[in-house]
Amino acid sequence: MSEVATAPVMTIDGPGGAGKGTISRLIAERLGWHLLDSGALYRLTALAAGKHDVALDDEAALAEVAANLDVVFLAEGGATTVLLEGSDATTAIRTEQVGDAASRVAALPAVRQALLQRQRDFQNPPGLVADGRDMGTVVFIDAPLKIFLTASAQERAHRRHLQLREAGVDASLSSLLKEIQARDARDMQRSVAPLKPADDAITLDTTRLTIPEVVNRLTELLAERGLTSVI
């Protein structure tokens, strides 16, 4: 077995707003592991489709876009810059509009297949923290530790509302709640790789937990499984 194949993977799945991105990044930084933000790949596919006038219901064309994404992730100073076709797309892929489009794109089997190997290629020593919606159920089914982070829809809408306000963006809390609920339904009901915990995943509700509490708990779980000695 190759060294790459034995690199440990911790998958962190869950709905949008549960804290997956922040938690995954902090754990990867603490351990010195690689980080896969799988949602960014779907957001980038949606953004690239818009740039090239590809309709969100043209599955074959979208799969072609996904398979040929010109993307670079630059990690520096605790943050990640995302370049799409040479241009900074870090902020653009985090808009609600792109997030909604990404959810639609992610429901297409051909697109998911086009991105599958690209995601698996992130598994390299010393380890990988994989953030997404089907990391433990599809992409890394043999991962030794699978986490499913969740939180109430109301709490997730509240968190997103605060993020947007801090960024100077005016948004309606009630509209954000409706968008989150609609996205949850679409992700859970799609025919391919629906959003759900893996059978062997540990579910953690973050509604009333702080970020440090979640990071510490997940790092403890890694240590309990002998995947790291860092606490």
Q: Is 17 annotated as a binding residue?
A: yes
Taking alpha carbons only, the member of 144, 123, 119 closest to residue 134 is 119
Structure tokens at 97: 């509009």
Residue 39 among known ligand-binding residues: no
Contact 176, 160 (CB under 8 A): yes
Residue 126 is assigned to a ligand binding site: no
Query: In terms of Cα–Cα distance, which of 215, 203, 208, 221 is closest to 24?
Result: 215
Coil, strand or helix: which one is 76? strand
Sequence-separated (6 or more) residues with CB below 8 Å from residue 161: 171, 173, 176
Please tell me whether 20 is known to bind a ligand.
yes
How many Cβ atoms from other residues are within 10 Å of residue 207's Cβ?
14
Pairing of β 202-205 and β 79-84: unpaired
At residue 103's C-alpha, the angle toward residues 216 and 145, to 5°, is 30
Is 32 labeled as ligand-binding?
no
Q: How far apart are CA 210 and CA 204, in angstroms?
A: 12
Is residue 19 annotated as involved in ligand binding?
Answer: yes
226 annotated ligand binder? no
Annotated binding-site positions for ATP: 14-22
| Known binding-site positions | 14-22
